[in-house]
Amino acid sequence: MDSEVKQHSSGIYMKIVNLDIPVTADSAIVWQNETLYLLDQRVLPGTEQFIELYSAEETARAISDMVVRGAPAIGVTAAFGVVLAAREVFQKFGSKWKQHIKPLLDQLEKSRPTAINLSWAIEKMRTHIQELEDDLDPEAKLQKLAVEIHDKDIEDNRAIGNFGASLIDTESGIITHCNAGALATGGYGTALGVVRSVHAQGKLKRVYADETRPWLQGARLTAWELARDNIPVTLIADSAAACRMAAGGIDWVVVGSDRIAANGDVANKIGTYQLAIAAKYHGVKVMVAAPTSTIDMSLPNGSQIPIEKRAASELLSCGGQRMTPEGLDAWNPVFDVTPAELVDAIVTEKGVILNPDAEKMKNH
């Protein structure tokens, strides 16, 4: 295994390694030999490299820096981050480890604000920590739970794929936004899980992937993982989506989500809202594919969902190259909220909610 250690601007070191495993979209999160490796999504598809993580602090940094991204993938990664946190505090403090783990879990939980899957996974790990004994090494038991969370996410995505595909007719054209694929989850994907299942059933004509400014998750990641699976994909600029719908042959917009409120309002990558408005105008249906771990029943509607705002520099530059005049201001919210009334179906591992509202969400 080759490796290179680079210092991040925050002062944290990130070790870049070339793992001796095939690089696929399903290998975005690898737990191997008691070590966490993340496929570095900042540099795909041009460079295929893994980052090796030793601590909860490095894991939190990797999440906020987008080494790993996508709501379920962030949750799975954080669960492994808790294992690293437990190792660290048990080695340092022995039977007093539980008193010292809290700030590390809080740091992990704050690494990105919108995806509820992050707090969902940490909460599961926290609950398990309460059940563990103070003077026994907690690592093996926490590792077992993190692996279960990872495996369950893949299983859920396969169920979502099948439920979603059951709504879609033959010869369908789909637009997707951002990357809600294997890379964004434990594996298989949510929105791209539906696409994979539709394709496997011979019903897919073509997927149009929005490029997804400014991180280009569509152009770099969705196009990469679909092309690798020989799924017919065409890239479009975000601003071309309405025009593509007007040209005909688009039946569904299929997207993932970072958080769904109790009334069915959906937070997802910035641009999803305008896509849903354009879809309504053109008679195209909108499907949101997400596991139930993405649903936040504590928030009555989408206006309470915390929306992450990232650095203006992400908009002002492209590929590290400044594209704009010096001193220009930029507004960079990276998620938006699509009202439930613009959503035709929310698909989870439990089934389908058509025309979601508070009542249907409660009974799901």
Binding site for ligand MRU (CB under 6 A): 69-72, 115, 178, 180, 184-185, 190, 217, 255-258, 268-269, 334
* Nearer to ligand MRU among residue 138 and residue 181 (C-beta): 181
Is 258 annotated as catalytic? yes
Q: Which of 258, 296, 336, 344 is catalytic?
A: 258
Minimum distance, C-beta of residue 91 to ligand MRU, in the bound complex (Å): 32
Q: Which residue has the CB atom at the shortest distance from ligand MRU?
A: 256
Name which of 243, 240, 219 is nearest 318 in CA terms. 219
Q: How far does the chain reach from its first CA to its final CA, in angstroms?
A: 47
- The residue whose two tokens read 């080695």 is 91
* Cα distance between residue 285 and residue 280, in whole Å: 7
Angle of helix 71-93 versus helix 56-64 axis, rounded to 10? 160
Alpha-carbon dihedral sign for residues 17, 22, 26, 30: negative
**29/129 with CB nearer ligand MRU:** 29
Smallest gap from Cβ 151 to ligand MRU, in A, equals 16
Residues 6+ apart with CB under 8 A from 195: 174, 176, 189, 204, 207, 226, 231, 254
Which CB sits closer to ligand MRU, 115 or 245?
A: 115
- Per DSSP, the three-state class of 6 is strand
Instruction: In angstroms, give the least distance from the CB of 183 to ligand MRU.
Output: 9
> In the complex with ligand MRU, which residue's Cβ is closer, 141 or 213?
213
To the nearest whole angstrom, how small is the minimum distance from the Cβ of residue 132 to ligand MRU?
Answer: 30
Active-site amino acid positions? 258
